[in-house]
Structure 1
Amino acid sequence: MLRAQINPHFLFNALNTLYAIAMKENSEKTADGIQKLGDMMRFMLHENHQNRIPLAKEIEYLHNLISIQELRLDENQQIELKINLQNPDREVFIAPMLLNPFGENAFNTASVSAMRPGLTLRLRTIQNTFFQSAQQLSPQK
């Protein structure tokens, strides 16, 4: 759908220009966010059309989503992704964008100002079943 509305070549050229400006201005945090956004857009444009993709690619997308969300947090706030795969050496394939709602919903339900000290997202497999959970961490008293 995005491909039909925006010329991907233009979009990636614009992101590359913004990345170069951020680097020129010594804004590494902004440049990193732009680069991760570009990676996410490439994933959505290219990987999204396949029936199944490696879980590792989906997890990389989730890491990029987390990194972008972390840009708006204070330094004392953190987001942690814990992954526990029963057979980590076995390549697992899943439907593309399967983890996206999990990641986005975790941030939609967790108010940024209330994220003290942070949020933990967990992915695990038990006997070929995939589980995911999000937990808001409580401030220590």
Structure 2
Amino acid sequence: CHLRPMPSFSTGVIIAALLTGSDGFSLAPQMRSPLPKSVSIHHSPLITVPSLCPATTIARHSAPSMGLFGLGYAELAVIGVVGLVLLGPDRLAPLAKDIGKSASGLKEVADSFTEGLAEGNVEAEKLKTAAPDEVITAKVEEVKKEL
């Protein structure tokens, strides 16, 4: 990033800006030239000077995609290789077939567990925002219904 020299202003203009109590000043509108979008402007208490540094933007990376049960493909590959080494190819093939059949059932269990947690969080938020008297009354009514 290269810095360009600041334009020279007469000391009278700078002193006048300081004495008038203004927060700052810039060149007259007719003297300004439009800046490209990649040029940012730095403000100082006295002078507005365009910077030659390109405006920085923060790059957002997308969330990593997960394969099965929240594991990425690399983790699944490592598990497969370790399973192959430990069990051998003869026992690994039937085991993988059985795991594949039950994977959908296991995924349903994980989804229902996550849904239950979400419902619990909603209930907890309701209790946090409710007035204490309402919470106590609701609990008493709930116990009465159970009896």
For CA contacts below 8 A with separation 6 or more, give which structure has more relative contact order: 1
Q: TM-score range by the shorter chain?
A: under 0.3
TM-score, normalised via structure 1 length: 0.19
TM-score, normalised via structure 2 length: 0.18
Q: Please state which structure has a larger fraction of its residues in helix.
A: 2
Q: Please state which structure has a larger fraction of its residues in strand.
A: 1
Q: Which has the larger radius of gyration?
A: 2
